[in-house]
A and B are shown apart, each in its own frame.
Chain A
Amino acid sequence: MNFLKKYSLTCVLIFGILISWATVVYSETTKYATCYGALYWNIDTRKDATTAANNFSKAGYISFARHNYDAGMAYRHISTDNIFFFSGHGNSGLIEFDDGEKTSRIYAKSNSSSNTLNTKDLSNVRLAIYGSCLSAETGDNTGNLLDVSYDQGVKCAIGWAGTVNAGQHSTWLSEFSYRLRKGDTVLDARWAADAKVRSVWGSRTGGTENHRCRGSNTITIY
């Protein structure tokens, strides 16, 4: 009888400790990074997502490399992401996902889609990287991804003001996430990524140097 009582108490104690530990650890230190890439009909950005997820994972983030995802899924999860990373196609005010069967989009704002960032709470997002052509530009009907992200609470949003070529862009994104992992500020990491592209591609930078930042350039991911 005594043994059973002691056993019960021990179980309750261990369970209590486990719950407390889990609550403290997960509520205070858990950070999520979700990185999207896809095999589009004309480019493959899955490696970009994987490399970024790897770097953010080494920086202590619970990181996911999501390949060929639907925009709706990404949109539903973005509020819980601390880092949102996307590499793929885009246009002014939108990024385009490809799940292998169909394409879908996240917009800064839109009258025709519900995947609009201007209606989303993004205050958890420390860094949003919209790695696509024209992602820093404003569309007449689609708005501006960087401005809307910042207005909705993103600390720092990165996009491109012009067209970018996939090869050079991969080099840029890889170095950028690597430098962030090493503790560089966003500004340092952008500068280092520019240098890296020049060291590999020379003056043929593929438009990668036209990145823009909205929000704080001096944050790190730590």
Chain B
Amino acid sequence: MRWGIKMKKINIVLTVILILSVSISTVYANLNQNSDYIESESIYDEDEMKKIEYQFADLSKKKLKYKYTKSDKNLGATHLTYSDSDDVEYTFDSVTKNLKIIRDTKKFNKKSKKASKVKNFMGKDTIAKNTLKKVVKNSRNYKLVDAKYNEEYKCYKYSWAKFIGGIKSCDEVFIDISLDGEVLCVVIPNEGLFDNNDFEVHKKVNNYISKERALQILDKEVKKSSETRYILDSYEVQESNLYFNKDKRLVWSFLVSTKYKTEGDDDGFVKGVCIEIDANNEEVKYF
């Protein structure tokens, strides 16, 4: 009889432990589901999943297969990525259908392992120019802005831009060429943005503020951005450019390093600020 009572007690204890184990497991598993979840990848449109044949600016064609869609909620943009038979990725803007990025990860990795070739090989400029002709219409309208070697990626980085009245625009092309002469990456952010030769745009180069004037406006802006808790200790302009932005405005663009401190704080912290000042009407915009 006593044994029977003991058994019952043991069973009750075991049952309670089991229930507790299962409950804790369930609660723990649910806790680990991130509550601030943002879905950044989803099937965007079934039609987009079809195979496509993309025609480049030089009229050459490439058969591409849908790979994935990435929606960036921060930017409000959706990019569709396709790949060719060599698994080179081609990323398009889902709205404009413009080609934005070509990226060859396989070749990038391959060259990383055997980057022992001569850095200044002949013909790299030709490869870069031919790639430019392939990806943009009217490649003659683009001027070479920069061509430099990147030690870490072991490749040459070229950049071209379309100029309006002698001033650079954001219609740019970036091309990475490996030491083996392989095209690793092409980026085309805003192709064709200034193709219609808008008279209003051209007019903007006739009369715009000097860099000195833009720096005066910048100084005022940066100094007024302090807050009671934080004191602006110093600031330094790290980059400055005059260019036509995506809104087709002629702007002075600055990357400013601002250093703030609180009372009794020796180290402080640094914050980068991107400011664009409209070179025609002095309007200020932060990014």
Contact = CB atoms under 8 A, between A and B. Distances in A.
B257 A162 contact: yes
Given A8-B11, A11-B14, A204 B271 contact: no
B121 interface: no
Most A-side CB within 10 Å, residue of B227, B257, B268, B270 = B270
B36 A53 contact: yes
Contacts of A204: 170, 241, 253, 255, 274, 287
A62 B18 CA distance: 24
Most B-side CB within 10 Å, residue of A65, A192, A199 = A199
Interface in A157-200: 162-171, 174, 178, 184-185, 187-188, 191-192, 195-196, 198-200
B273 A165 contact: yes
Interface residues of B, number: 69
B108 A188 contact: yes
Most A-side CB within 10 Å, residue of B4, B15, B109 = B109
B103 interface: yes
Interface string A123-161: 000000000111000010110000000000000000000
Contact of A192 (B103, B230, B262, B271): B103
Contact of A195 (B32, B72, B103, B256): B103
Interface in B129-174: 145, 152-153, 159, 161, 170, 172, 174
B18 A199 contact: no
B100 interface: yes
Contacts of B161: 203
Given A89-B269, A94-B267, A162-B238, A202 B109 contact: no
B200 interface: no
Nearest to B33: A57
A24 B83 CA distance: 39
Contacts of A64: 34
B101 interface: yes
A57 B287 CA distance: 29
Interface in A61-110: 62-65, 67, 89-91, 93-94, 96, 103, 105
B267 A4 contact: no
14 contacts: A15-B18, A18-B25, A50-B37, A54-B40, A63-B32, A91-B268, A132-B269, A141-B267, A163-B272, A178-B40, A184-B105, A187-B152, A192-B103, A198-B189
